[in-house]
Amino acid sequence: MSTAVAPKLDIQKIRKDFPILEQKVNGKPLIYFDNAATTQKPKQVIDAISEYYEGYNANIHRGLHSLAEKATTAFEDSRKVFQKFINAAEVEEVIFTKGTTDGINLIANAYGRKFLQEGDEILITAMEHHSNIVPWQMIAEEKGAILKVVPVNAKGEISLDEVENLITDKTKIVSVVYASNSLGTVNPVKEIAKLAHAKNAVMVVDGAQASSHCKVDVQDLDCDFYATSGHKMYGPTGCGILYGKRAILEEMTPYQGGGEMIHNVSFDKTTYNDIPYKFEAGTPNIADVVALKHAAEYIDAIGKDHIMAHEQALTQHAHTRLSEVPGINFYGSAKEKVSVVSFTIDNVHPYDAGMMLDAKGIAVRTGHHCTQPLMDHFGIEGTIRASFSVYNTIEEIDFFADSLKDIVAKFS
């Protein structure tokens, strides 16, 4: 794990931006350690949603009246913010989606269906979320392609040598998670992209867990696609972005038809709109996309370096304190990882631990975390996962560790 020094952030001031943190759960102050599933939302994001519906609710792009123009401007302003947030070369390379799952399905259908042929290969890793497994299985079955998997070692890391060995002249798509939701492992996606491109394969990055933690520069990574979700980076649920290089997006055929994605429709033939609109069929999730801009701006205002340093300090402290818990077994000890601590406790089922922690006001995630093949690799049903964000504190972790000790004592 990288050495981190906690920055001088005013965490108590930051916590006041998140109204949900003020509540009590089961009579106890809420301690929210389920950030890898979804982060909480700052007031700036919540207010932006209300402001849209109260002030300028209208459909976008096609209307000429004042509300429609204001809504369109706000929607497209979010696209501009995300172009900068991920350093896309052009604003047209940013497509709004329902989230990472939707983005990967879009690639599998709009790119995979057009370009994959029988015998072609798709390469993923053993630590992928189901969202980066199932769409590739589906398109591979349809096209007669072969899905190959890079193994994971005992630390929860992949080997670049293994990646290089598995990429062949038949490999057409390499799709890798930037940061594992189960283990926290940060993968060397820039180096993997070089290996993929050396064999003329396209590189897809699942950025769901990375976007609120890691620096994201799609031009530096040289990935061909980058998918991410708003709700894991302090934004609303049901919205996200897909980045794609212009040249590739223009070659792809849309897999959803309807309004907005067309130039002209007749019963004889339909011509498609320019990017990004040809991949945004129908009325989008306007309010949440507008609010999503405020989530990106919130992250930038604090600074990703500061966020990452604070979270790393929390993670290191958690490892130290949780190591005191009798019978604990950690999963995921990669040198580079985001703020996820995943573990089991001897003779304590993860679900039992989760319910007993909830009684103390502590929210963690228990189960396979939508990574069943990874759990099978480690020979376990699932783990207890604590995942930290910028609004979490050392004191919360101390209470968490002490609570786990109490729980273990009850099972002794």
Contact 275, 246 (CB under 8 A): yes
pLDDT one-digit tens code per residue, 388-411: 999 999 999 999 999 999 999 998
Q: Estimate the crossing angle of helix 43-55 against helix 286-302, to 10 degrees.
A: 150
Distances in Å between the alpha carbon of 60 and those of 73, 75, 273? 9, 8, 15
Would you please indicate which residues are annotated as catalytic (active-site) residues?
370
Q: Is the pLDDT of residue 5 over 60?
A: no
State the pLDDT at residue 3: 40
* Domains, the chain, ordered by start: 11-38+304-411 (3.90.1150.10), 46-300 (3.40.640.10)
Angle at CA 173, nearest 5°, toward 108 and 38?
60
- Classify residue 304 as exposed, middle or buried by CB count within 10 Å of its CB (0-12, 13-18, 19+): middle
Q: Is the pLDDT of residue 74 over 90?
A: yes
Confidence class for position 7, pLDDT limits 50, 70, 90: low
Euclidean distance between CA atoms 182 and 378, whole angstroms: 12
Contact 259, 59 (CB under 8 A): no
Q: Check residue 45 and give left, alpha or beta (phi > 0: left; psi -120 to 50: alpha).
A: alpha
State the pLDDT at residue 4: 42
Looking at the chain, the whole-number percentage of residues with pLDDT higher than 70 is 98
Euclidean distance between CA atoms 234 and 247, whole angstroms: 31
State the pLDDT at residue 357: 97
- Top-confidence residue, 355 or 271: 355
